[in-house]
Chain A
């Protein structure tokens, strides 16, 4: 056995391949080079690379390593600005899920910059001939994307993807104000209808709703962790 196959055996062992599989692979490759007379390094390439390619786990991880996936959401007051900001960082929205999350991915090797449009569902569809593609729908909104290369050519690509944001939820100040205003209105209305006990009932209702929302969020997070 040559030094190449000795090293290959070590590398495959380090990658966690079962000993019996390693013996079979190395015996097979040795027989191959013995018959062909080829130099193993020339035939199979650098030993570290070859060991990686022979390891199923590494093989399966390949495509995932090339593409990053990110699930995030933002409120309707500023999601267009966020979409275009993240689109400029190479994130392409693949779809919008039922909870309003933008399921996005980014090509690590050759990231494209993307721009986005939002229209009222079923209306004002931007022209496909100009590169717009439908990428999702949520409630009354349709979302469209276009690679910036459609207008800029190679300048529409990123030289390298910037660090991905660690956040997943982007609420705007206007959204918090809107929620606050809505709650105040609810309390005022309930006080008007139910008298002095209105605020207590309103707060009880709000706490119940908050607990339910929290329960849904935790459930989703657990489901995602199980998937991951």
Chain B
């Protein structure tokens, strides 16, 4: 099995996971990466996360606002748009169907 298989899996679903981390409110890059790490996805590097955030922003699924911090230069805060919320709901359903199909096949294989 290739060593980077988890990375390939993550590549296919990372945009959805990022959107999902914003369902309860706005967040910023590091906090999103931390939420995903705490959920067991390992450390998502900035070089992986920010291109995804940029794509989501360009697609109008999130909006970002730069805020100056009391200390330091500040951060970009990301928030789900209505379109982002709809896309997340639709794509999550598709992913869960896909996940179910994978489970069906893999659990058969494991049961042999």
Contacts and interface: CB of A to CB of B under 8 A. Distances in A.
A149 B72 contact: no
A131 B46 contact: yes
A156 interface: yes
Given A127-B72, A129-B30, A153-B64, A146 B54 contact: no
Contacts of A151: 66, 73-74, 76
Given A151-B66, A153-B57, A153-B76, A129 B31 contact: yes
Interface string A86-97: 000000100000
Contacts, number: 57
Interface residues of A, number: 20
Contacts of B47: 92, 107, 112, 147
A150 interface: yes
A150 B72 contact: no
Nearest to B69: A130
Interface string B17-31: 000000000001111
A228 interface: no
Interface in B49-90: 50-51, 53-54, 57-58, 64, 66, 69, 72-76
B46 A147 contact: yes
A201 B75 CA distance: 59
Nearest to B30: A129
A151 B51 CA distance: 13
Given A131-B30, A133-B46, A110 B72 contact: no
Contacts of B31: 129
Contacts of B30: 128-131
Contacts of A107: 47, 51
Contacts of B64: 153
Nearest to A153: B64
Given A133-B46, A149-B50, 18 more contacts: A110-B51, A112-B50, A129-B28, A129-B31, A131-B29, A131-B30, A133-B45, A145-B46, A150-B50, A151-B73, A151-B76, A153-B57, A153-B64, A153-B66, A153-B76, A154-B54, A154-B57, A157-B54
29 contacts: A92-B47, A107-B51, A110-B51, A112-B51, A127-B72, A128-B30, A129-B30, A129-B31, A129-B75, A130-B30, A130-B75, A131-B30, A133-B46, A147-B46, A147-B47, A149-B50, A149-B53, A150-B46, A150-B75, A150-B76, A151-B66, A151-B73, A151-B76, A153-B57, A153-B66, A153-B76, A154-B57, A156-B54, A157-B51
